[in-house]
Amino acid sequence: MNALADQLLVLSLLVNFIVLGTSRLAFSVRAVALQGVVLGVLPALIHPFSWHLVAIIIGMLLAKGLVIPWMIMNAIRQAEIRREIEPFIGFIPSLVLGALFTALAFVFASKLPLAPEHEGLLFVPASMATIMCGFLILMARRKAISQVIGYLVMENGIFIFGLILADAMPLMVEAGALLDLLVGVFVMGIVMNHISREFSSLDTSRLTALRED
48 SS3 class: coil
Which residue range is the domain that position 184 belongs to?
Answer: 2-209
How many folded domains does the chain comprise?
1
Mean pLDDT of the chain: 80
Q: Which has the minimum average pLDDT: 137-146, 160-169, 190-199?
A: 190-199
pTM above 0.85, yes or no: no
Residues 6+ apart with CB under 8 A from 98: 16, 17, 20, 133, 136
Tens digit of pLDDT for each residue in 80-125?
778 887 788 999 999 999 999 999 999 998 888 776 666 667 888 9
Let me know if 88 is exposed, middle or buried by CB neighbors in 10 A (0-12, 13-18, 19+): exposed
Please indicate whether residue 75 or residue 10 has the higher confidence score (pLDDT): 10
Rounded distance, CA 14 to CA 12, Å? 5
pLDDT band at 15 (very low <50, low <70, confident <90, very high): very high
Rounded distance, CA 154 to CA 156, Å? 5
Please indicate whether residue 26 or residue 207 has the higher confidence score (pLDDT): 26
- Could you give the maximum distance between any two Cα atoms of the chain, in Å? 62
The DSSP line for 85-125 is -S-SS-HHHHHHHHHHHHHHHHHHHHHS---GGGTT-SHHH
Please indicate whether residue 183 or residue 132 has the higher confidence score (pLDDT): 132
Whether the per-residue pLDDT at 59 is higher than 70: the answer is: yes
